[in-house]
Amino acid sequence: MAKNSALSAGAWFFGAERNVSIIARGANWLNALRATRNDSQIERYINEHGGVLTDSLEREITQKFANAEPGRY
């Protein structure tokens, strides 16, 4: 099989390794997008509650955004 196939050229074009599938790259992109959205929501929440991250505010953020009980990570 030739090394200059269309698939290897596509991997080079997108700057990804040949072993990484399009589905994996799409999933990574969606996860990064979700993380960015969550970070901006948390930043907005901190600014709405005084702009200083305190222990109590951190517990509230954990309960609100991570759907977890405080102290359970």
- Tell me, yes or no, whether 28 lies in a domain: yes
Number of domains forming the structure of the chain: 1
pLDDT at position 47: 94
- Tell me, yes or no, whether 31 lies in a domain: yes
Regarding pTM above 0.75, the answer is no
User: Domain range spanning residue 35?
Assistant: 7-65
Q: What is the pLDDT of residues 12-69, one digit of tens each?
A: 555 555 667 888 888 899 999 988 988 999 999 999 999 999 999 999 988 887 765 5
- Tell me, yes or no, whether 72 lies in a domain: no
- Tell me, yes or no, whether 73 lies in a domain: no
Which residues have CB under 8 Å from 60's CB, separation 6+? 49
pLDDT at position 65: 77
- Tell me, yes or no, whether 35 lies in a domain: yes
- Tell me, yes or no, whether 17 lies in a domain: yes
- Tell me, yes or no, whether 70 lies in a domain: no
Q: Is the pLDDT of residue 70 over 50?
A: yes
